[in-house]
Amino acid sequence: MRIDIVTLFPGMVEPALAESMLGRARARGLVDIRVVNLRDYAEGKHRVTDDYQFGGGGGMVLKPEPLFAAVEALRTPGARVVLLDPRGRMFTQRVAAELAREAHLILLAGRYEGVDERVNEQLADDALSIGDYVLTGGELPALVVTDAVTRLLPGVLGAEGAVERESFASGLLEPPQYTRPEEFRGARVPAVLLSGDHARIARWRRVQALWRTWRARPELLEGAGLTPEEWELVDRFKRGETPEQIEASAPQER
């Protein structure tokens, strides 16, 4: 896969791409990520990339010419052009999986008050937002999209099945995770995780994932494909039962 990130501030992007999973994936040739300076495609002596808004209003707007020129120079057959824009559709794990099937992504990082609307209408194939808050520009969203998409590519994550076990892959948040020591400052690892009973551990993790999702992101439950038994667990949460009470009652239920 190839990902081009078009930005006015390459220095904000390139260092992150050299570290951790992204850096290793690039070094191994699993993904080709390029950082493109938008100013290289601006015209004139001063390489101007922004201008005042027609109709008045505060703030500058990115001009269409350099963005069109950059995309036209970079685009390969079938490439998907994505504008990082707070007005775009919400970026989710499902969208990340959708983008991971593309051969070439061109990510346009907006700046200032935004970009000329003709970029959105005539150049971009898609527009994405990473959340309902204000950022200085699209560089951080572009990195978020790049990270989420890259880790879904074959061979990027070493542990088999790691992607499938993560939060949102199943539609639910992940359950609690523990490592050594078994006791730390009076807090012990749940006994079930030390039991060696894999069926019981799997049930505990599913109950915990349901509990966490119900408490923090209940809107995710509708799209998680829950079984009738799992909906019954949600109903038990609503009636005031805790995961610990459900775990204690599990042997009688089996």
Condensed to tens digits (0 to 9), the pLDDT of residues 133-158 reads 989 999 999 999 999 999 999 999 97
Q: What is the CATH number of the domain that holds 139?
A: 3.40.1280.10
Condensed to tens digits (0 to 9), the pLDDT of residues 111-123 reads 988 999 999 999 9
Query: Is residue 130 domain-shared with residue 177, that is, in the same domain?
Result: no
Q: Which residues, in sequence order, are CB contacts of 60 under 8 Å at separation 6+?
A: 50, 51, 52, 53, 112, 113
Condensed to tens digits (0 to 9), the pLDDT of residues 155-199 reads 999 764 456 555 566 789 999 999 999 999 999 999 999 999 999
pLDDT of 56: 87
Confidence of residue 44 (pLDDT cuts 50, 70, 90): confident
Query: Is residue 172 domain-shared with residue 146, that is, in the same domain?
Result: no
| 143 occurs within a structural domain | yes
Domain that holds residue 215: 167-253
The span from the CA of 186 to the CA of 179, in Å, is 15
Is the Cα dihedral 242, 247, 249, 254 positive or negative?
Answer: positive
Query: Is residue 119 domain-shared with residue 242, that is, in the same domain?
Result: no
Query: Is residue 122 domain-shared with residue 171, that is, in the same domain?
Result: no
Mean pLDDT of the chain: 93
Query: Is residue 136 domain-shared with residue 13, that is, in the same domain?
Result: yes
| 72 occurs within a structural domain | yes
Into how many domains does the chain fold? 2
Q: What average pLDDT does the segment 234-254 reach? A: 85
End position of a domain, from candidates 150, 183, 207: 150
Query: Is residue 96 domain-shared with residue 218, that is, in the same domain?
Result: no
Confidence of residue 253 (pLDDT cuts 50, 70, 90): very low
Q: What is the CATH number of the domain that holds 187?
A: 1.10.1270.20
Q: What average pLDDT does the segment 10-19 reach? A: 97
| 155 occurs within a structural domain | no
| 97 occurs within a structural domain | yes
End position of a domain, from candidates 98, 117, 150: 150
The span from the CA of 63 to the CA of 81, in Å, is 17
Condensed to tens digits (0 to 9), the pLDDT of residues 47-58 reads 999 999 999 888
| 182 occurs within a structural domain | yes
